[in-house]
Structure 1
């Protein structure tokens, strides 16, 4: 079969190559790959900045935003041939730590977890793949054109769960939400905010292309002004930061309502220094009972929450998020940005 692979930490090593067909072990599904999404983590791996091959191997098969169709399933499992499925990305560490032992492997304490397509475990960017039935999530068949959006949706499902848990330390009825960044994570965060009945605002610097219309059609408000202008106008109870831009992070922290919660989902680049008024930031956080929380990855609970959210969403709106579908043999094209890109996917099956 064909797969998209790299030599981790080696820029320019991306290739579509033949690899052996997988053989499912006991308790595993054999899945025909339909598509994988491409995100910033994948681009970092392709650029040689990140990634670990499986032990004893020098190559890593990419792909953690998966979508496939079951070919064979273990007896007495909840799956059967033809089911639409997504594979979970992270696996708990083998020790395990206290969090992993309780199913919270997204909160692993010792860093010994593995991740499909990222860390010591081949990913899903292949024509066939296997996955343990305990780490597969069944999707509504109607989601086939957009099912590869499940994994990024899990990221924001967890973010919203974290926000609501932090908020519940006292009376918490948020009304206004600001999402910074209108990429896939930002748009999906906005979607889940709208599904909660909140007044959602999205800030992004672009004024052309599909992003403003997607936000408007979601029933949210699109902004492209400076963040100080937006926060003074909106005074958000919640901010979901999805850019990782350092200055924007601190500006968002300074612009919330009292008892505001800022959830950071964007990963910032290292080595960029800023001058900040740390005293004022600390004073406002303390005196207004504000909170800042980081959130990354997801566990099985968040996958189920995300599947429910996508099933309730307008499928046409979700399809508009996918701005390019690149065939497997031209996978390298998916890693070069083009104007108007939001979510780019690699199709693994000609029919997808």
Structure 2
């Protein structure tokens, strides 16, 4: 079968290759891949910034955002042939730390977790893959065209869950939320904020086109000016760019008791000068909280599946701005000005096909 692979640590090694079908030992559920979403993580792996092949293998199959259809499943675990499913990207370490043992592998304490398409496990950009039933989340059958968005939704589902848990430390009655970045994660963070009845403001540098329209169609407010120039002091802030100056702006524009979630990963290197004393004083005297959030566990996947099932299907479809066949993968990684989410169609018709080989 065909798979999209890289050689970890080697720049520009992305290529389509023939590999063996998934061995039965990888799980009793056989899944035919339908689609894989692409994101900045995939680009960083292609650029050899990180990435780890499975043990004994010199290549890594790419792709952690995924959607598939069950071809074979054992009786009992609640899955059947034809079910639409998503594989959970991160898996617990083989000798689980306390967090992984509790099912909170997104909060792994020792870093020995694995991640499909990223760290130690092949990804989902291959025609077929296998999994254990507990590593799969079943989707509403009507989500075949947008279900590949599930993994990005899990990121913000976790972020909002953590925001609300932190808010229970004391009085918490947020009214205004700020989201920085109108990429897929930012737009989905805004969706979840609007669903909570908040006044949501989204900041991005794009001045026209699809991103502003998507934000406005949510009922949120789109901004192109820097956050400090807006005068907005938000109760909740979700930072989705990882841009050092934007992170600093977010930390300086908060209401008292604000909760700030950082989801974007900032590149190392010299950034803007920071007055740590001023930042500390504001945070302490304002009873403010800043925390980072990455990845998700099963609870967040199930919450994200409910979000997709309830959200406006037309709005979700518009997030997917390009669909590219697996054979044309190079085109998928050539950025276009209007890209929001680019998806590789592994099986474009969404139906079952040939047997794995």
CA distance in 1 between partners of 2:23 and 2:85 (Å) = 18
Out of 292, 295, 301, which is 1:294 matched to? 292
TM-score by length of 1: 0.98
Answer yes or no: is 1:190 the counterpart of 2:190: yes
Aligned equivalents of 2:112, 2:25: Cα separation in 1: 23
TM-score (normalised: structure 2): 0.96
Secondary structure of residue in 1 paired with 2:115? strand
Query: How many aligned residue pairs are there?
Result: 350
Number of the residue aligned with 1:218? 218
Judge conservation of contact 1:26–1:74 (CA < 8 Å) in 2: no
CA distance in structure 1 between the partners assigned to 2:35 and 2:182 by the alignment: 22
1:288-347 residue CA offsets vs partner (Å, 9 max, x unmatched): 100000000000000001011111100100000001101001112212211110000100
What are the residue-to-residue correspondences of 1:1-352 with 2, within 5 Å? 1-25=1-25, 28-230=28-230, 232=231, 234-352=232-350
* Structure 2 SS opposite 1:68: strand
User: How far apart, in 1, do the equivalents of 2:27 and 2:208 lie?
Assistant: 48
Hey, what's the Cα distance between the residues in 1 that align with 2:146 and 2:182?
Answer: 18
CA distance in 1 between partners of 2:236 and 2:33 (Å): 37
Deviation digits for residues 184-236 of structure 1, max 9, x if unmatched?
00000000111111111100010122100000001111000111022x1x321
In structure 2, list runs of 5 or more residues that go unmatched.
351-357
Instruction: Give, in angstroms, the shift of residue 274 of structure 1.
Output: 2.1
Q: Distance in 1 between matches of 2:272 and 2:119?
A: 31
Q: Deviations over 1:238-284 (max 9, x none)?
A: 00000001111111111111001110000000112321111111001
Unaligned runs of 5+ in 1: none
SS of 1:237's partner is strand
Deviations 1:156-209 (A, max 9, x none): 000001111111100101011000000000000000111111111100010122
State the alpha-carbon separation in 1 of the partners of residues 20 and 191 from structure 2. Answer: 40
Match of residue 354 from structure 2: none
* Cα deviation code 1:69-106 (max 9, x no counterpart): 00000121100000000000111112211101100000
CA distance in 1, matches of 2:221, 2:294: 26
Name the CA distance, whole Å, in 2 between partners of 1:287 and 1:252. 17
The CA deviation at 1:26 is 7.9
In 1: Cα distance, 2:172 partner to 2:122 partner: 42
Aligned-partner Cα distance in 2 for 1:62–1:114 = 14
